[in-house]
Amino acid sequence: MRPGAHAAAAIEVLADLEARRRPVADALKDWGLSHRFAGSKDRASIASLVYDALRRRSSIVWRLGAETPRALVLGALAFTRGLDADKVAALFADSPHAPDALSASEIQALSNSKIDDAPEWVRGDYPEWLDEKFARVFGAERAFEGEALAERAPLDLRVNALKGDRAEALKELSHLHAAPTPLSPVGIRIPLLADGRGPPVQSEPAFLHGLVEVQDEGSQIAALVAGAAPGEQVIDLCAGGGGKTLALSAGMANKGQIFAYDRDIRRLAPLHERAQRAGVRNLQIRSPRGKEDVLGDLSGHADMVLVDAPCTGTGTWRRNPDAKWRLRPNALEARMAEQDAVLDQAAPLVKAGGRLVYITCSLLADENTDRLAAFRERHPGFVPSDMHEAMGQAGLAACESHAAKDGNSLLLTPRRSGTDGFFVAILKRQS
């Protein structure tokens, strides 16, 4: 397939999304199944163009004055990929399977459109209903934060200390131009390919032997700040696929015990194989069993309970640009209720003197500081810990500038830290 045909296919996928309101991955999968002549590279190129169109949907619509799938693809080529109007026009004429030729008005819009006078939510490419919430956190900088969330995310790996060190991993992955991450002492960053994809690191011997795991640098930092120590009793209460579980276990050097739980047993399934590959030996997976309290025997015994709470995922929009346009106010309200519930579930598990670590991949105060304030009203025996101290102990002095003014929490964003968006706070149980 030629690039023009890729553009036509991207328009088809975006039209399907508009008609059926579903995740982009499902639309791309269905397109591939119904167009089996398209090879893997073609499908990857089409997916990359669709994602680029969704990253800057609001600003593209503003510039072109249209919200059609065709306009979104034109905008992705011109404003995300930087092609001038002549190059876009040539691309649309490169084969019989390319979209229709550009009109004079489209060429003019691609050549002369500006965005300087657009509202913040347009320049930042996020839903208008979230503007007030972004303003609360970022103030006049919110459009710039949104722009960073619309960029492509890097490919980051975490070096598994149970299997080796970063120098060894960098050597094994040198052919991928691997480099240390700026902030995490156990992170490696791999350059993306020209089409925005990462190389297939899951097929690399370093991955297959458990030396590295795919994990964003921000997620690595959150696990390091949590500070799971050898010999501790640790509960990962929303373990999911186990990314942070494995990171915590590495920090514990396989000493002590870590218990992984998730209310959705399906999400825990990959952790079994991942833990074996990583060489984790101090892990117990507690799968839900109907109404049975599978964590009841741990009440009041945990040195640390990690709550990687379900959230809106606003901090991960670089990886899931379609998610921001599907997010609705009622979804935020549902996540907040779930966050309150899981924090209340965590509280009795923490022993006196122990700590509760609250993490989200959200940038919204509604899901972060507000939830902790409400939690402390219900559980006054928990008090904030100094994040500067926690980061110092974790060897993350470079992250201290991202702590809140009161020192009670940490907020990472693509613009500020070059990572996915993460919120981290530690509460200590006094009684």
**For the chain, which ranges sit under pLDDT 70?**
none
- Give the predicted TM-score (pTM) of the model: 0.94
Question: Can you name the residues that pair with 189 across neighbouring β-strands?
Answer: 156, 179
Residue 165 annotated as part of some ligand binding site: no
Which residues are known to be catalytic? 361
Planar angle of CA 343, 390, 218, nearest 5 degrees: 70
Q: Can you give the pLDDT at residue 123? A: 96
Best CA proximity match to 19, nearest among 27, 8, 9: 27
What is the secondary structure of 212-239 as a DSSP string?
A: EEE--HHHHHHHHHHT--TT-EEEETT-
What is the secondary structure of 303-351 as a DSSP string?
A: EEEEEE-----GGGTTT-HHHHHH--HHHHHHHHHHHHHHHHHHGGGEE
Q: Can you give the pLDDT at residue 113? A: 79
Q: pLDDT by residue (tens digit) across 86-96?
A: 999 998 887 78
CA distance 258 to 344: 20
Residue type, 195: D
Residue 191, sorted as left (phi over 0), alpha (psi -120 to 50) or beta, turns out to be: beta
Residue 308 annotated as part of some ligand binding site: yes
Planar angle of CA 406, 412, 416, nearest 5 degrees: 100
Q: What is the CATH number of domain 217-429?
A: 3.40.50.150
Q: Can you give the pLDDT at residue 40? A: 85
Residue type, 53: A
Domains of the chain: which residue ranges? 3-118, 217-429
- CB neighbours of 399 closer than 8 A, spacing ≥ 6? 183, 221, 225, 391, 410, 412, 417
